[in-house]
């Protein structure tokens, strides 16, 4: 019988965090028997949903279909929820390839997922999806969750946990997700468990990359890892369980803001009336430190040339803000990124690209001007050649203990996870990381 696999994704875990984690009570024991790849190069853009889909498919965004956390919109229903708005790639139907979850279930084995991105609507196994109701939607939270979660999670945990929390509060989400994951692990011992923990990502967004709050959060994550290990021990499955603890991306502190849609409005590509967008020919949809440029009609050569000229002029006039402009063809060739965009803009390190079209007057905003505004202090969404990298830590019966590898590529992680779970990978562009006991 293949070993079990538990994957803990600590959102925004960075290689530098290992120095602090490795001396904490639980992680210090993990460290003694773990294989570690210290720096994993991500995909582009460095966003949670595309990366987590790559982790369980072994494919780049051009093949798995998730190119951003959120679906592009010039007028999102809830623009104040986050940088990009409220329409996320929540549903599993958005993935265009077979996943690790699909494969393990097809083998007749059991799966549990806890806040793993792009799983809403999965009714097999135990599925606690990452999703929340939009405030303007007419459906209730219970209706939204009933459609998104597996029936057993809905019946066992909605009234006990989920329904008592405020979904829009990230702290509430991570609180109930951990308790539910522990209960499922102890009672049902699934063959595969995927847990996405957003504690660290939220903390870095709010407080910045390195500070006391981040240190406190790392201590919480160490405790959670220990609780999961002890739960597996109590269930009698620890000796036949492989564990993986990984990050999806790092974060970079925000230094400046650049309102990329203002030039689009000024040159007539976005039309505003009464403080709202009336129509558009093109707009910028931020991914944080990069942006996708969406054309209403991508086949309109005149508009496409006009937008391309505008972006290149901005890069020429604001070289300290705009680093690169890629056509969709260029970025597909170099980073295997594809989607409903015609250009991608990469900002200089620390320059956050904002979506705002109305309510702002200056194209740029320097530190001090936005200190009291609702602006993240740290962000991601940058090119994978920048920033601190996430690590990969594995231990268990299928892992070579004590291995330390300096660099790796995120496209190789899926091969590794499939091997540790004991199932064949239906498709992949990578190779297993050299941490497996069966590796030559």
Residue 439 has pLDDT above 50, yes or no: no
Shared-domain flag, residues 412 and 324? no
Q: DSSP string spanning 122-145?
A: --SSEEE------TT-SS-HHHHH
Shared-domain flag, residues 355 and 289? yes
Shared-domain flag, residues 22 and 159? yes
The answer to the question of residue 91 being in a domain is no
User: What is the overall mean pLDDT for the chain?
Assistant: 92
Residue 83 has pLDDT above 90, yes or no: no
Domain of residue 274, CATH code = 3.30.1360
Structural domains in the chain (count):
2
pLDDT of residue 359: 81
The answer to the question of residue 82 being in a domain is no
Residue 194 has pLDDT above 50, yes or no: yes
Domain end marker among 319, 350, 375: 375
Shared-domain flag, residues 413 and 360? no
Give the Cα separation of 203 and 210 in Å (integer): 10
- Name residues whose C-beta falls within 8 Å of residue 107's C-beta, 6 or more positions apart in sequence: 423
Contacts 24+ apart (CB under 8 A), 270-277: 270/74, 270/357, 272/357, 272/358, 275/358, 275/359, 276/75, 276/358, 277/74, 277/75, 277/357
Which residue range is the domain that position 298 belongs to? 255-375
The structure tokens listed for 180 are 């539910």
Domain of residue 394, CATH code = 3.40.720.10
The answer to the question of residue 260 being in a domain is yes
pLDDT of residue 78: 60
The answer to the question of residue 310 being in a domain is yes
Residue 440 has pLDDT above 80, yes or no: no
Query: Percentage of the chain with pLDDT > 90?
Result: 81
Residue 374 has pLDDT above 70, yes or no: no
Shared-domain flag, residues 209 and 316? no
The answer to the question of residue 34 being in a domain is yes
Q: Where are the beta strands (DSSP E) in 173-286?
A: 192-197, 241-246, 252-253, 256-259, 270-273, 276-280, 282-286
pLDDT in tens, 407-420: 999 999 999 999 99
CB 34 within 8 A of CB 46: no
Beta-bridge partner residues of 407: 39
Predicted TM-score (pTM) of this structure: 0.96
pLDDT in tens, 256-306: 999 999 999 999 999 998 888 899 999 999 999 999 999 999 999 999 999
pLDDT in tens, 15-26: 999 999 999 999
**How far, rounded to the nearest angstrom, does the alpha carbon of residue 21 sit from its chain's CA centroid?**
21
pLDDT in tens, 17-73: 999 999 999 999 999 999 999 999 999 999 999 999 999 999 999 999 999 999 998
Shared-domain flag, residues 353 and 366? yes
The structure tokens listed for 324 are 């690169």
Shared-domain flag, residues 101 and 45? yes
Shared-domain flag, residues 47 and 179? yes
For 283, the 3-state DSSP assignment is strand
Shared-domain flag, residues 195 and 296? no
pLDDT in tens, 157-193: 999 999 888 766 667 777 899 999 999 999 999 999 9
The answer to the question of residue 140 being in a domain is yes
pLDDT of residue 167: 66
For 180, the 3-state DSSP assignment is helix
Phi, psi of 105 (to 5 degrees): -65, -40
Shared-domain flag, residues 333 and 299? yes
CB 432 within 8 A of CB 415: yes
Residue 74 has pLDDT above 90, yes or no: no
The answer to the question of residue 116 being in a domain is yes
The answer to the question of residue 35 being in a domain is yes
Shared-domain flag, residues 267 and 338? yes
pLDDT in tens, 209-233: 999 999 999 999 999 999 999 999 9
Q: Where are the beta strands (DSSP E) in 215-319?
A: 241-246, 252-253, 256-259, 270-273, 276-280, 282-286, 290-295
Shared-domain flag, residues 31 and 178? yes
């Amino acid at each position: 019988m293949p070993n079990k696999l538990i994957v803990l994704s600590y959102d925004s875990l960075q290689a530098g965090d290992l120095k602090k984690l490795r001396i904490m009570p639980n992680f210090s024991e993990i460290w003694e028997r773990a294989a570690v790849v210290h720096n994993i190069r991500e995909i582009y853009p460095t966003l949670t949903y595309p990366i987590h889909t790559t982790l369980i498919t072994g494919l780049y965004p051009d093949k798995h279909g998730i190119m951003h956390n959120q679906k592009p919109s010039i007028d999102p229903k809830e623009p104040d929820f986050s940088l990009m708005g409220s329409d996320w790639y929540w549903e599993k139907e958005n993935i265009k390839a077979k996943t690790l979850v699909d494969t393990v279930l097809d083998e007749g084995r059991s799966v549990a997922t806890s806040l793993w991105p792009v799983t809403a609507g999965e009714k097999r196994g135990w599925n606690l999806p990452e999703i929340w109701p939009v405030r303007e939607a007419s459906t209730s939270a219970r209706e939204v969750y009933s459609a998104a979660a597996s029936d057993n999670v809905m019946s066992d945990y909605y009234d006990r946990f989920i329904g008592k929390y405020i979904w829009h509060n990230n702290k509430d989400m991570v609180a109930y997700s951990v308790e539910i994951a522990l209960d499922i692990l102890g009672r049902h011992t699934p063959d595969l468990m995927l847990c996405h923990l957003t504690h660290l990502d939220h903390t870095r967004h709010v407080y910045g990359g390195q500070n006391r709050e981040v240190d406190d959060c790392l201590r919480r994550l160490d405790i959670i890892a220990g609780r999961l290990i002890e739960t597996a021990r109590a269930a009698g499955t620890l000796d036949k369980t492989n564990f993986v603890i990984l990050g999806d991306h790092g974060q970079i502190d925000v230094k400046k803001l650049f309102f990329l849609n203002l030039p689009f409005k000024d040159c007539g590509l976005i039309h505003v009336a009464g403080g709202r967008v009336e129509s558009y020919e093109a707009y910028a949809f931020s991914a944080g430190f990069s942006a996708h440029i969406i054309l209403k009609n991508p086949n309109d050569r005149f508009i496409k040339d006009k937008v391309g000229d505008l972006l290149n002029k901005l890069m020429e006039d604001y070289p300290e803000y705009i680093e690169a402009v890629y056509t969709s063809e260029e970025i597909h060739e170099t980073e295997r990124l594809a989607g409903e965009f015609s250009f991608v803009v990469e900002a200089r390190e620390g320059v956050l690209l904002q979506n705002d079209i109305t309510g702002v007057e200056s194209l740029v905003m320097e530190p001090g001007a936005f200190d009291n505004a609702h602006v993240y202090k740290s962000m991601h969404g940058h090119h994978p050649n920048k920033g601190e990298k996430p690590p990969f830590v594995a231990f268990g019966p299928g892992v070579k203990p004590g291995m330390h590898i300096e660099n790796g590529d995120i496209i190789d992680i899926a091969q590794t996870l499939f091997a540790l779970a004991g199932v064949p990978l239906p498709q992949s562009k990578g190779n297993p990381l050299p941490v497996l006991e069966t590796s030559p």
